[in-house]
Amino acid sequence: MATLGMSEADKASVENFRRDVVEPSRTQLVIVDFWAEWCGPCKQLAPVIEKVAADYAAKGVKLVKINVDEDKFIAAQFRVQSIPTVYAVFQGQPVADLSQARTEGQFKQYLDQLLSQLPIESDEKAQLEEIAPLIAMGEELLAGGEPDRALAVFQQIAQMVENNADVASGAARALVALGQIDEAEALLAALPADVAKDQNVERARAAIDLARHAKPVADLSGIEAKVAADPDDHAARFELANGLMANGDRDGAADQLLESVRRDRTWNDGAARAQLVKLFEATGLEDPWVAAQRRKLSQILFS
């Protein structure tokens, strides 16, 4: 904003705007809330937007409130015609008009979208970058059959950052692998509602569900003989799949469930397919093994 020919009051407003909005917006997302003392809707919105800004402060979000009666020049630059008017500013430029948002959920939806698209610097992002290698280490130990060491790693990370979905999921799945299913369930139950909805937490929840219904079987030969004698005995095949799953043979389990779907996809309200989906979720939907199994399932369903 040029200051030539401006009053001293307007110059002060511009300098304050540069200090409070433009400079921070080089690395942060600055929410600019235009308001006035006489504006009822502004006062109704204030607690909502202030709470959201506080919740998102660690994500690199800052709130700046501009009184349109005191900073008329700034309001005019933004062409504010009615209030409340709310803009998101990044690197000195408005990147979104948030004026239509009225609820906490609406504001968070807007902010989540912006934060996913812009290179915002924040304490949270720096912390996530710091723990990412440790999370990868925990996942590698878990995949390598060392759940006790994996649990120790995830517990160490949990002391560094609270309520992280990836960490909680890893710790819960390690507990499941160690047979501590109740502890895993309690860990997930203690998570905040927004974290509990994360896809990776759903992965751990699926692992818990599978563990509760699939118990290790020392000798599967009897069930295998039963299935061989009657390939359409879906209850026996389902039991065999669960036994294989509990014994760590996910390929064998998937083969049995896929065969059940191929023979009768409607058996027991689609129980075989539902169990396959749980196995996919517990393994991780981005896992190459899951992608291969899903292709097999699609070929059966659409052939």
List active site positions.
39, 42
Strand partners, 89: 30, 94
Nearest to 20 by CA among 5, 31, 9: 31
Strand partners, 34: 66, 85
**Rounded to a whole number, what is the distance in angstroms from the first to the last CA of the chain?**
65
**Both tokens of residue 129?**
């970058």
The three-class DSSP label of residue 90 is: strand
Phi and psi at residue 257, to the nearest 5°: -70, -40
The three-class DSSP label of residue 75 is: helix
Dist CA 66 CA 63 (whole Å): 10
Side-chain half-sphere exposure of 204, counting CA atoms within 13 A: 31
Residues 6+ apart with CB under 8 A from 217: 223, 243, 246, 247
The whole-angstrom distance between residue 100's C-alpha and the CA centroid of its chain comes to 25
CA distances from 123 to 21, 126, 153, 164, 165 (A): 19, 5, 22, 14, 17
Dist CA 57 CA 7 (whole Å): 34
- Count the Cβ atoms, other than its own, within 10 Å of residue 282: 24
